[in-house]
């Protein structure tokens, strides 16, 4: 065990977060996301039983967001005609506002199939048990500055 590290961050996930370099991306996927298919060329980490918000909160404690891009946080845009509500996005925005001065401006929405294409290039995909729809989020790693 380590001090100061959220317990939800497994050794495997901590290793992946540490291995990632500047501008690498990681997807925190909801339970409906095709994690194994999209992540066939990435590291897929199972986090069944966990939701996206608690993983995002823990990851943001140790993971710098990229300051060299306008939007280091990407959300999967709701498909036209889907009438889906995304209250989970408000939770994500609050968590990011707590750690990044850009706040809501750190976010962008990416069309569903473009999100999949970008996710195929991610360093890792975390497959969660999140039941909210359109709850997928992609983070671009920045630089640790001391």
Please give the domain boundaries of the chain with CATH numbers for all domains. Answer: 11-140 (3.40.1650.10)
Q: Which residues are catalytic?
A: 22, 66, 116
Residue 92: predicted pLDDT: 98
- Other beta carbons within 10 angstroms of residue 83's beta carbon come to 7
Whole-angstrom Cα distance, residue 51 to residue 48? 8
Q: In the predicted model, is pLDDT for residue 17 greater than 80?
A: yes
Rounded alpha-carbon distances, angstroms, from residue 144 to 3, 21, 93:
19, 10, 21
Residue 146: predicted pLDDT: 75
Q: Tell me, what DSSP letter sits at residue 20?
A: -
Residue 133: predicted pLDDT: 96
Q: CA 34, 38, 42, 46: dihedral to nearest 10 degrees?
A: 0
Q: What is the mean pLDDT of the chain?
A: 96
Beta strands 43-47 and 25-29 are unpaired
pLDDT digits (tens, 9 = 90+) for 84-136: 999 999 999 999 999 999 999 999 999 999 999 999 999 999 999 999 999 99
């Amino acid at each position: 065990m380590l001090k100061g590290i959220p317990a939800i961050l497994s050794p495997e996930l901590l290793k992946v977060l540490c291995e990632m370099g500047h501008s690498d991306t990681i997807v925190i996927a909801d339970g409906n996301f095709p994690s194994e298919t999209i992540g066939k060329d990435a590291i897929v980490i199972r986090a069944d039983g966990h939701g996206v918000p608690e993983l995002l909160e823990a990851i943001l404690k140790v993971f710098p967001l990229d300051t060299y891009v306008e939007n280091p946080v990407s959300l999967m845009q709701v498909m036209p005609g889907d009438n889906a509500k995304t209250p989970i996005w408000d939770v994500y925005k609050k968590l990011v506002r707590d750690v990044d001065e850009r706040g809501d401006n750190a976010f962008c929405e990416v069309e569903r199939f473009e999100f999949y294409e970008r996710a195929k290039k991610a360093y890792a995909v975390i497959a969660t048990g999140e039941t909210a729809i359109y709850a997928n989020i992609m983070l671009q790693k920045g630089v640790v500055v001391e």
